[in-house]
Amino acid sequence: MAASPATLTDLLAARFGHPFEPLPGSVAASIDEAALRRIAGQSSHRRWSDQPVHDALLRTLAACALSAPSKSYLQQADIIAVQDSGQRRKVEALVPKMPWMRQAPLLLVFCGNGRRFRQLFERAGQPFANEHLDGFFNPAVDASLVLMNFMQSAAAAGLVCCPISVLRDQAAALRDILALPAHVFPVAGLCAGYPAEQREPNPRLALSATLHLDRFDDQGQAQAIEDFDRRYVAARQRHAPQAAQEAPQGWSQERVQMYREAQRADWGQFVRSQGFRTE
Ligand SMILES: Cc1cc2nc3c(=O)[nH]c(=O)nc-3n(C[C@H](O)[C@H](O)[C@H](O)COP(=O)(O)O)c2cc1C
Per-residue HEC secondary structure of the chain comes to CCCCCCCHHHHHHHHHCCCCCCCCHHHHCCCCHHHHHHHHCCCCCCCECCCCCCHHHHHHHHHHHCCCCCHHHCCCEEEEECCCHHHHHHHHCCCCCCHHHHHCCEEEEEEEECHHHHHHHHHHCCCCCCCCHHHHHHHHHHHHHHHHHHHHHHHHCCCEEEEEHHHHHHHHHHHHHHCCCCCEEEEEEEEEECECCCCCCCCCCCHHHHCCCCCCCCCCHHHHHHHHHHHHHHHHHHHCHHHHHHCCCCHHHHHHHHCCCCCCCCHHHHHHHCCCCCC
Q: How confident is the model at residue 64 (pLDDT cuts 50, 70, 90)?
A: very high
Q: Which atom of ligand 1 lies closest to the CA of 187?
A: 1
Q: Which atom of ligand 1 lies closest to the CA of 202?
A: 27
Q: What is the mean pLDDT of the chain?
A: 95
Choosing from 45, 102, 162, 264 the residue with most ligand 1 atoms within 8 A of its CB, the one to mutate for a pocket test is: 162
CA dihedral for 128, 134, 137, 142, sign (positive or negative): negative
The pLDDT assigned to 240 comes to 80
Q: What percent of the chain has pLDDT over 90?
A: 93
pLDDT by residue (tens digit) across 1-47?
A: 455 677 999 999 999 999 999 999 999 999 999 999 999 999 999 99
Statement: residue 67 has pLDDT above 50: yes
- In the reported structure, the alpha carbon of residue 123 is separated from the centroid of ligand 1 by a whole-number distance in angstroms of 39
The pLDDT assigned to 89 comes to 98
Choosing from 44, 170, 258 the residue with most ligand 1 atoms within 8 A of its CB, the one to mutate for a pocket test is: 44
pTM: 0.96
Q: Is the Cβ–Cβ distance between 174 and 186 less than 8 Å?
A: yes
The pLDDT assigned to 3 comes to 57
The pLDDT assigned to 1 comes to 46
Q: What is the mean pLDDT of residues 197-203?
A: 95
> What is the residue with the minimal CA distance to atom 10 of ligand 1?
164
> What is the residue with the minimal CA distance to atom 19 of ligand 1?
44
> What is the residue with the minimal CA distance to atom 21 of ligand 1?
44
pLDDT by residue (tens digit) across 85-113?
A: 999 999 999 999 999 999 999 999 999 99
- In the reported structure, the alpha carbon of residue 165 is separated from the centroid of ligand 1 by a whole-number distance in angstroms of 8
pLDDT by residue (tens digit) across 143-190?
A: 999 999 999 999 999 999 999 999 999 999 999 999 999 999 999 999
- In the reported structure, the alpha carbon of residue 46 is separated from the centroid of ligand 1 by a whole-number distance in angstroms of 10
- In the reported structure, the alpha carbon of residue 164 is separated from the centroid of ligand 1 by a whole-number distance in angstroms of 7
Ligand 1 shell residues, CB under 6 Å:
43-44, 162-166, 188, 202
Q: What is the mean pLDDT of residues 134-151?
A: 98
The pLDDT assigned to 249 comes to 87
- In the reported structure, the alpha carbon of residue 214 is separated from the centroid of ligand 1 by a whole-number distance in angstroms of 30
C-alpha–C-alpha distance, residues 208 and 193, integer Å: 35
